[in-house]
Chain A
Amino acid sequence: MARESEDAGIAKASKVKRQRKKKTKENKTRIVHANILYDHAKGEENPNRHYANNKIKTTKYTVLSFLPKNLFEQFHRFANVYFVFIALLNFVPVVNAFQPELALAPVVFILSVTAIKDLWEDYRRHRSDKEINHMDCLVYSRADKRYVEKYWKEVRVGDFIRLRCNEILPTDVLLLSSSDPDRLCHIETATLDGETNLKQRQVVRSFFELDCDFDPLKYNSIIECEKPNNDLNRFRGYIIHRSGRRDALYKENLLLRGCTIRNTEEAVGIVIYAGHETKAMLNNNGPRYKRSKLERQMNVDVFWCVIILLVMCLFAAVGHGLWMFQYGDKRPVFDVLSPEGTDLSPIMSAIYLLLTMIIVFQVLIPISLFVSIEIVKICQVYFIHQDMDLYDEETDSHLQCRALNITEDLGQMQYIFSDKTGTLTENKMVFRRCTVAGVEYSHDANARRLAMYQEMDSEEEECTSHGGTLPRRDSVSSHQSARVVLRSHSTKSHRRTGSRAEAKRASILSKHTAFSSPMEKDITPDPQLLNKVNECSNQMDFMRFHSQSMSQLPSDLSDIIDFFIALTICNTVVVSSPNQPRQKVWAKVPSQSPVKTIEDFIKRFTPSRLTSGSNSSSSSNSTLTKLDEEHPGSLDHAFSTVLPCYDGKACTPEEGELRYEAESPDEAALVYAARAYKCSLVGRLPDQVTVELPHLGKLNFELLHTLGFDSTRKRMSVVVRHPLTDQITVYTKGADSVIMDLIKPPDTDTAGRKRQKKIVFRTQSYLNLYAADGLRTLCIAKKILSKEEYACWLQHHLEAETSIQGREQLLFESALRLETNLHLLGATGIEDRLQDGVPETIASLRKAGLQIWVLTGDKQETAVNIAYACKLLDPEEEILTLNADSQVSSSNQNFTDSINPSSSPLSSSSFHTTPFTVHRLGLVIDGRTLAYALDKSLEDKFLAIARSCRSVLCCRSTPLQKSMVVKLVRNKLKVMTLAIGDGANDVSMIQVADVGVGISGQEGMQAVMASDFALPRFRYLQKLLLVHGHWCYSRLANMILYFFYKNAMFVALIFWYQFYCGFSGSAMIDQWYLIFFNLMFSAFPQLITGTLDKDVSAETLQQLPQLYVNGQNSEEYKPYMFWMNMIDAIYQSLICFFVPYFAYAGSDVDLFTWGTPITTLALFTILLHLGIETKTWTRMNWLSIIFSIALFFTVALCYNASCPTCYSPSNLYWTMQRLLQDPLFYLLSGVTPVAALLPRYFYRACQGTLFPSPVQVGRQLDKLPAETRRNILSLSRVKVGSPVHLKPPFLSLTKPSPKGYAKKDQRSFPTSKISQAKQMPVLQTDEEKGQRSPVGPIDSEKGLLDLYTLVPTKVDTLASTKEAPTFAREQQNPVTKDSECLDKTLESSALSLSSWITSTPLLTQADSVQLALPPHGGSQCVKYTRNSEERLSSDHTVHPVHRTEQSLHTTL
C-alpha cells in the first residue's frame, strides 16, 4: 500500500521532471528541505525536485542507443575505421575485388564480437543496478505517520530514513538522531575505502538534546550544503532552523552511501545526496586504460605495415600502368574494357588498380590482431587472477587486475618505486620500547616475546629481531646462507604459521578490529616502568585521598603518569565490544550527563566561569571520586552488555576485553601499550574520555578539543581538563622532528629548565637509537594552559570552527597556535614488522635487473634500517647520504661539487661514505634535499648519481615528491616504472608510474583504487613480475610478431602473383579463403599459444630472476625482429608461391585449382611456423592445430560443393574435391612447407646450440631432472645471490643504455653499453676524488673492464690477490677468503655460473665475454690489476675485522 502511494509519487516526480522549468541553478550550494512538508503540495513546488533521485544507472547504453553509441565508440579506434573504409571501397564496382557483402564480413564480425562483449558487460551492470535499486529501506511517510518500506530507487533528497543496525546506507544521509546514548552512530566504511575500523558519526548538534525519538513531523529546518562532490572526507554546510539559528555541519554528521551501520540500533537522517550525486557514486570512475609499451612498439610496426602496403600497391599500380602501356592501341582480348565500353587509359587503370590492391592486400594490416590481443589479454588476466600463489588466505583476497590491457608491461619493468610502510612492512605496529622523562625502558621481555612470535611465524623470516642493541647487520647477513635461502623456497606453502594463524583467528572472531592480533595486543610491561607507574598512581591516590594538590608530585613521576595518560587519550581510538550496538542507557544519573557538546560546555564555560574552576560534571576531585564509587556498574553496563545482534548468536562478553578501533595502527599499538601498564582506555565519547588507572580507578577526562592528525603538522593534540589537577592540559603526540622543535623549557624555573633540557637531550639520543633499530618513533609532550590562555585561544578557535570559507586553513592555524612551548614527556618506539618474504623478493627482483627505489615518509634512520633489513641496502655497499644540512665532510667535497658545481641549495650537503671498499653505491636522500635535487637545474645530476647507485632511498618525502621522482625517472631515463604502495600518500605515485600496484592492506583502498594491479602482499610482486610479467610479455610479443609474419606471408603470395597476371589485382586465392584465413583458419592456434605458451617454467623463472632481463630489454620483440620476420615471410611466401608455380607451369591448371593448393600450403606453413615457435605443446595446442586444419578442409569442401553458380567472381565448384584426388597436391604439401621452414628451423637449432639466449638456457634447465636442476639452481642462487652479485655477462651485455641518457653515457661508458649502476664499481680511491663527474669516464671504463677481465682470466686475478700483502691473513681462512674480496667473489661466482651454464649447451663464460672485450682489453687488464691491489690493500687495513665478520655470515 505504501508502495503504491510512493509509485504515484514517482509518477508525479517524473511529471515534474517533464515540466521542469529552466530555473537558474547557478547557486553554489544545495538547499535541502524536508520532503514531508511538501507531500501534499504539487510537484513543482517541491524545492528538492531538481536533485537526482536515488535510482542508479551505471549502464552505458539503452536498448535504443546501444547500436549507434557502441558503433560510435568502436569507431574511435582507427583500425576499425580503416577496415570499414576498405569494406565500403568494395562497393565501388570499378575497384572492387571481392563480393562486396563478403568483404563486410570480417569488419562486421570484429565489430559484433566487441559489441557483444560490451553488451554483456552492460547487461551485468544493469542487473546489479536493478538489484541495488530494489533494495529496501525505511522512509518516513507523512500519510502513514510512520516509516514504511520503500525501494532504494524511490528515495529522494529530503526524505527521512530510518536505519537499523547492519543496514547499508542507501544515500548520503545527514544524521539527525541516533539510538546511541551519546548521539553517535558507528559506521563501517569498508566498501568505500576498505578501512575496516568503525567510524563515529555524530548527530547534528541542534538535534543533540532531544531526549525522545526524533519526530520528522516537527522538523522544519532547511539545510544548506555544498554541491555534490567526490571528496569523501569533506562535507560542509549548515542547517538553518526556523528560529534562524544556524548550525554548522561537518563530515562527522554525514553518513555515506554504501557504508554499513554498526553498533547502533537505530538512526534517523535526512537524505542530502541521492543516487549518482552521492559521494560514493561520484568516486566511481571507470577502469583505466593505458597503452602498454609493447602496444606502442606494435603500433610503430603497424605503421610500417601500412607503408609496406602502400609501397606494394603503388608498385602494382605502376606495373599495371606499364603493362597496359606496352599493348598500346592493340587491345588484347583479355583486357576488358570498362563497363561503359570505353577504353581505360593506363593511368586511369593504374589509379583504379591502386584502390583495388588496397582491398586485396588489406590482410597485411591485421584486422584480427587487435581483437586477438584483447582476447589473449583477457585470458592472461584470468590466469593471473587464478594463480594460487597470488592468493592470500589470511585476507581471502587475491590479486586484482584492474587495468586489463597492460599485463605485458609487467614483464618489462626496469624501476620499482616502493613505499615502505605497509608495503614492505606489515603495517602492524607493535609497541617495542619507550623512554619517559629521559629514562629508557627497554622492554626486554617484550622483545623476547616478539622474538618468540617471530620464530613461530616462520623460521626463515628475516631481520626482525631488533632486540636490544643487537647489531643489525649481522642478522641481515646471517640470512644469506644457502640453507635459508633454499628452504625459503621449498617451504613456501607452509609458511603461515604461528602468530599469523592466530591473527587470522582473531580477525575472524571480530571482523572489525583490523589491527589487533595478539602479537600487537599482548605487551609485556617493563618491570621497572611498571613499578614506577604503580608507585606513582599510589602516590596520587594517596594525595587525592588527602586532598593534596597534584602538582606536588615529583616531576618524574608526574611525567610518567602523564605519559601514559597521553598515550591513552591522545588518539581517536574507539572502544567497542564486538558485535554489539551500544545500548541506550537512559537510566543514567542526571549529574553525569549535563555536558553533551563542546558547545554546551563552552556556553556555560564562559571565561568568568572558568575561574571558578568547578563544574558540575566531573572536574572536582570529590565528585569524581563519588562518581567512581557510584557508577562503575553503569559504565560497565554501557559498554559490555550482551545483546544478540545481527548474527543471532549471543555473544558472550569477554571479561575486560575491550576492542580498540583505531584509524591508524600506531594509535592502537600505543593504547594497547598503555593498557599493559594498567592504564587503559575504557570509553570514549565525543566530549569525554574514560581512563582506568591503577589505584585511581576510572577517571573521566573532559575532552575539550581534538586537533586531528595531519601530514603537514605531523602531530595531533587533545585538549582535556585533567580530572585530578583540574588543569586544562594539552597532550600532543607526533613525529619527533616536529615535536622536538616545539619543546620549550619553562622560562621561570631554572632547575626545571635544566632538567627539561637534559630530558630533551637524552630523549633525542634514545630516539636516534630507536631509529637505528628501525623503530617508528613518536614523541609525547604536554602543555598546561592557564585558563586565560585557553580562553584566548578558544576565542580564535571558535571563530575558525564556525567559518565556512577556508575553515580548514583557519583550523590549521589555530592548531599551530596551540601546539607551542610543549613539555616533553617521552618517546615511544614502535616496530613495524617486515612482511613475509620481503628481503627475498627484493633480492630476486634486484637480480632480475630491477632498480628498486624506496620512497618513504619515514625518518631517515628508520628508513635506512628497514632498508638494511629488507636487503635493499647492503652492508657492503657504500652509502651516499645526501642531507642538505648535515655537516660538511671535507674529504668528499669534490663529490658534492660534482652534483652542485655552483653555490646552490645543496652547497652544504655532504656524503657520508662508509670506509670500506665499495663496488656498489646506495643513495639515501631526505625530503628536504630531494626538493633541491628535483629542481630543474639539478635533476640531471641527481639522476646521474642515482643511476650509478644500486639502490636509492628517499626519506621524509611527501606524496608529491614521490610522484615527482617517479615522473622524473620515467621521463628522463625513458624507462618502465612500477610504483607500489598501500596508502593514500602513494596514490599520486601509483598514478604517475607506467604500472601502479596497490597493496590491499591496512591503510584502506585508495591506493588500490588508483592502481592497475592490487596485490595482497608485497612478496607477490615477485611472482607477478618474474613469472606472469615475463610470460605475458613473451607470449604477447611472440604473438604479435607472428601475426605480422603471418599476414605478410599470406599477402606476399598474392603480390608475387601480380607479376603473372599483368598486375591486374587478380588473386589466385579465393576471396573466402582470403578473408577468412586470418579470422578463422589460422586464428585459433595462435590464440592458444599466445595464452598458454610458457617459454620457461614458473619455478625456473623465480629461481633465476636474471631471465627477467629478457623482457626489460624487449628481447622478444626488437625492431629488427619485425624486419627479420618480414624477410622470413617473404622467403616463405616465395617458396609457397613458386613451388606450385613451377610444379604447374605450362599445365592446363585453372586459376583456383592452382590457387587452392597455394592457400593450403600457406596454411600448413604458417601453422608449422607457429609450431617451431611454440615452446610448450599442451593438449590444447595440438587440438587447436588439428582443429584449424580440419576447419579449413571442412569449410573448403562444403564451400566447394555448395553452389555451382554463386560466389561470383570466383567459382570453386568441386575444386577441393578434385584436388584431394590429385597426388600432385599431396606431393606439394610434402615438400613446400619443409622447404619454407628449413631456414628458420635450422636457425633455431643453431641458436639453441651456439648462442642460446638466457631464456633458452632456462628452458634447458627445465628439462633437466628435478634433482639436478635443484642442484644447479641452488649453486647459482648462492653464488649469484652472494653480496657481490654478478649477473652472467651474456645477460648484462645486452643491456641498452636508456635513450635519454645516451649522450651522457657516451662519455661515461665509452666501451660498453652497460650502464647499470649495480654493476658499476664506482671507485672511491683517493686519486679519483678529483674527478668532476661522479662516474668518471676512465674509472667506469676501468671498472667495467675489471668485471670482464676478471671473469675469464682467472690466473690474473689469482696472481693479483696473492700479491696483495694484506691478503695473506685472509687466505688462512679458506672460507673467508672465498667470498671475501671483490675479485675472489667475482671469480667464484663466475665459476659457479659457468658450472651451471656449461651443464647446458652453452658457451663458456669466457667465450661470450671475450666477444665483448675491446681489442685493447689486454692493456686495460694490466691497469686494473694495479688498481685493484691498491684498493684492496687499503680497504683491508681499514676494516678488516668487520669484513671478516661479514664474510663469515655470508658463507654460512
Chain B
Amino acid sequence: MMASSYSTKEEDGHPSGASSHGGPGAVKSKKPDNTAFKQQRLPAWQPILTAGTVLPAFFVIGLIFIPIGIGLYVTSNNIKEYEIDYTGADINSSCYSCAKSYSWNSTTSCVCSVEFILEQPFESNVFMYYGLSNFYQNHRRYVKSRDDSQLNGDQSALMNPSKECEPYRTSDGKPIAPCGAIANSLFNDTLELYYVDSNGTRNAVPLVKKGIAWYTDKHVKFRNPGGNNNLTVAFQGTAKPVNWAKPVYELDPSDPDNNGFINEDFIVWMRTAALPTFRKLYRIIQKKSSTTPTLPSGKYFLNITYNYPVLSFDGRKRVILSTISWMGGKNPFLGIAYITVGSMCFFLGVVLLIIHHKYDTRNSSADIPN
C-alpha cells in the first residue's frame, strides 16, 4: 500500500490499479458501492413539458387568478381618494405667489389656502398624505446622507456625526443634529384641513399626528439623546440643520413624546421613498362614530403654510385624502394584473389544448407496431 503513494499523481485519492500488491491481507476491493445515490439512481420525478402535461397548470392558474383579480379590483375601487395639487406652479393657483417668492432662505412663512369639494363622504379612518413628485429621495448620495447612530440617541454620534453626513455634518464648527441631507430637506409645510359646513362656518378637522410612523422606528430606531427629558440640554452644542428654521428639539414643543428625533413627521420623512413620486403619511383623521362619516361630502378648505420650495426642480406638492383597505391604498393595478395574467394563462391553455389535440393525441393512441 505504501508503494501506491509513489505512483504518480494520486492527489485526488484514486490509487492506481497496479498498486494492489501491498500484502496478502490488504485485499480490499475498490468496487464502488451500489447505492442509489452513488449510481445516480435516486428516485426522481421527471416531468416532461408537453402541451398535454402543462395544460392543466395553465387552466388552474387562470381559474385561480381571474377571481382574485376581480376581487382585488373591486376592493381597490371601493377605496376613496382625493388629491389636491397645491404646488402653485399654475398662475391660477392660490399658492402661486408663495411658490414664486419662497426659497429655503426666506424667514417669513407664506400662507395660502386651497378650497375643494368632496363629492362623496369618506367612511372610516381617513389618511392624509402629502405627496411630492420628481423628488429623488432615492438618490444614492441622498439615501446615504444620514447617521443612524445619531438618530438612535448615541451621544458620541450626536457630537461627532458620521462622515456619510457630509457636507451636512457640521455647521459653524458645531455638529448638526440631525445631520445629513435627508434631515436637512425635511418637508416642513404645515397643512390644516377645515370643513365648511352648510352654514359656511369653518370647522377644523381634527388631525392626529401620532401613529403615522412605524412602531419600530418610533420606539427602537429613533431615540432622543439622554432620554426624553429636557431636550434642550440634550442637544446642547449641536447646530440645527441648515435649512431648518428651528432646532430639532423644537419640532413639537407641545408634546415631549413627539419631539426631537422621535418626532413622527421627522421619522416619516427619514424613511426615504422608493420612487421619485411618492406620498408620505401626514395625519390621520380618525373615525368619529359609526353613524357619521369621517369626512362628510361637502366643501373643504386646506390651509397651507408654504415653506417647502419644489419648483426649482420641477417638483409638485400634493395633499391626498384616502381611505384604505386591507391591501393598502387605492391601486387598481394588482387587480388588473391578476386578471390579465389569469386570462393569458387561460388563453394559452386553450392554445395548448388545440396543439395537444392536433399533435399530441396521435402519439397517445399510437401503439407500437410489433
Contacts and interface: CB of A to CB of B under 8 A. Distances in A.
A1245 B17 CA distance: 48
Contact of A1146 (B46, B164, B277, B315): B277
A398 B44 contact: no
Contacts of B363: 1398-1402
B42 A1092 contact: yes
A1205 interface: yes
A553 interface: no
**Main secondary structure on chain A at its contact with chain B?**
mixed
A124 B15 CA distance: 14
B275 A1060 contact: yes
A1423 to B, nearest CB: 32
Interface stretch (A384-392, A479-487, A714-722): A384-392
Contacts of A168: 2-3
Interface string B329-370: 101011001100100110010001001100110110011111
A1218 B52 CA distance: 41
B30 A397 contact: yes
A398 B13 CA distance: 13
B355 A1250 contact: yes
Interface residues of B, number: 122
A1012 to B, nearest CB: 11
Given A396-B17, A1061-B138, A1238-B348, A1396 B368 contact: yes
Contacts of B348: 1238, 1242
Contact of A1401 (B6, B50, B216, B368): B50
B3 A335 contact: no
Contacts of B47: 1175, 1177
B97 interface: no
Contact of A386 (B18, B38, B44): B38
B8 A1009 contact: yes
B7 interface: yes
Contacts of B181: 333-334, 336
Interface stretch (A212-220, A235-243, A1078-1086, A1267-1275): A1267-1275
Interface stretch (B147-155, B227-235, B285-293): B147-155
B68 A1395 contact: no
A14 B359 CA distance: 83
Contacts of B72: 1227
Contact of B313 (A257, A330, A1143, A1154): A330
A1206 B184 CA distance: 21
Contact of A1148 (B40, B139, B279): B279
B3 to A, nearest CB: 5
B12 A287 contact: yes
B360 A257 contact: no
Nearest to B359: A1249
Nearest to A395: B17
A283 B214 CA distance: 71
B221 A388 contact: no
B82 interface: no
Nearest to A327: B313
Contact of A336 (B50, B57, B139, B337): B139
Nearest to A360: B140
A494 to B, nearest CB: 15
Interface stretch (B118-126, B129-137, B247-255, B256-264): B129-137
B333 A191 contact: no
Contact of A1244 (B49, B184, B360, B369): B49
Given A286-B9, A1147-B329, A1234-B65, A1205 B148 contact: yes
Contacts of A402: 9, 12
Nearest to A1268: B368
B279 A1213 contact: no
B172 interface: no
Interface stretch (B106-114, B200-208, B266-274, B297-305): B266-274
Interface in B131-182: 131, 135-149, 151-152, 154, 162-164, 166-168, 181
A22 interface: no
Interface stretch (A524-532, A563-571, A763-771, A1257-1265): A1257-1265
A1399 B58 CA distance: 25
Residue in B2, B9, B271, B359 whose Cβ sees the most chain A Cβ within 10 Å: B9
Contact of A1250 (B147, B148, B359): B359
Contacts of B272: 1150-1151
A1259 B49 CA distance: 10
Interface residues of A, number: 144
A404 interface: yes
B273 A1224 contact: no
A356 B144 CA distance: 14
B149 A1205 contact: yes
A1118 B39 CA distance: 30
Contacts of B93: none
Interface stretch (B19-27, B84-92, B189-197): B19-27
A404 B10 CA distance: 12
A1013 B217 CA distance: 62
A89 to B, nearest CB: 15
Nearest to A331: B312
Given A257-B6, A1395-B368, A1008 B16 contact: yes
Interface in A1175-1195: 1175-1181
Contacts of B162: 1208
Given A391-B30, A1146-B277, A1401-B50, A333 B185 contact: yes
B46 A356 contact: no
Interface in A363-398: 381, 383, 385-388, 391, 393, 395-398
A427 interface: no
B94 interface: no
Interface in B30-83: 30-34, 38-40, 42-54, 57-58, 61, 65, 68, 72
Nearest to A1404: B362
A337 interface: yes
Interface in B209-237: 214, 216-217, 220-221
B31 A396 contact: yes
A191 B334 contact: no
Contacts of A1249: 50-52, 355-356, 359-360
B139 A387 contact: no
Contacts of B276: 1060-1062
Interface stretch (A33-41, A178-186, A835-843, A1063-1071): A1063-1071
Given A1245-B51, A1249-B52, 17 more contacts: A334-B137, A336-B167, A336-B181, A400-B14, A1005-B7, A1146-B131, A1154-B275, A1176-B46, A1204-B221, A1211-B148, A1218-B216, A1223-B326, A1224-B327, A1244-B54, A1249-B51, A1249-B355, A1268-B368
Q: Would you list the 3 A-B pairs with minimal beta carbon distance, nearest first?
A: A397-B17, A332-B313, A339-B166
19 contacts: A191-B19, A192-B6, A285-B8, A332-B135, A334-B135, A334-B142, A336-B145, A391-B31, A1142-B337, A1143-B337, A1147-B329, A1155-B274, A1205-B149, A1224-B334, A1230-B68, A1238-B345, A1242-B348, A1245-B352, A1399-B367
Interface of A: 93, 97, 121, 124-125, 128, 131-132, 135, 168, 188, 190-192, 194, 196, 257-258, 260, 280, 283-287, 327, 330, 332-341, 356, 381, 383, 385-388, 391, 393, 395-398, 400-402, 404, 511, 647-648, 1000, 1005, 1008-1009, 1014, 1016, 1060-1062, 1064-1066, 1068, 1092, 1094, 1098, 1139, 1141-1155, 1172, 1175-1181, 1204-1206, 1208-1211, 1213-1214, 1218, 1222-1224, 1227-1228, 1230-1231, 1234-1235, 1238, 1241-1242, 1244-1250, 1252, 1256, 1259-1260, 1262-1263, 1268, 1271-1272, 1275, 1395-1396, 1398-1403
Interface of B: 2-9, 11-14, 16-21, 24, 29-34, 38-40, 42-54, 57-58, 61, 65, 68, 72, 104, 129, 131, 135-149, 151-152, 154, 162-164, 166-168, 181, 184-185, 214, 216-217, 220-221, 243, 271-281, 312-313, 315, 326-329, 331, 333-334, 337-338, 341, 344-345, 348, 352, 355-356, 359-360, 362-363, 366-370
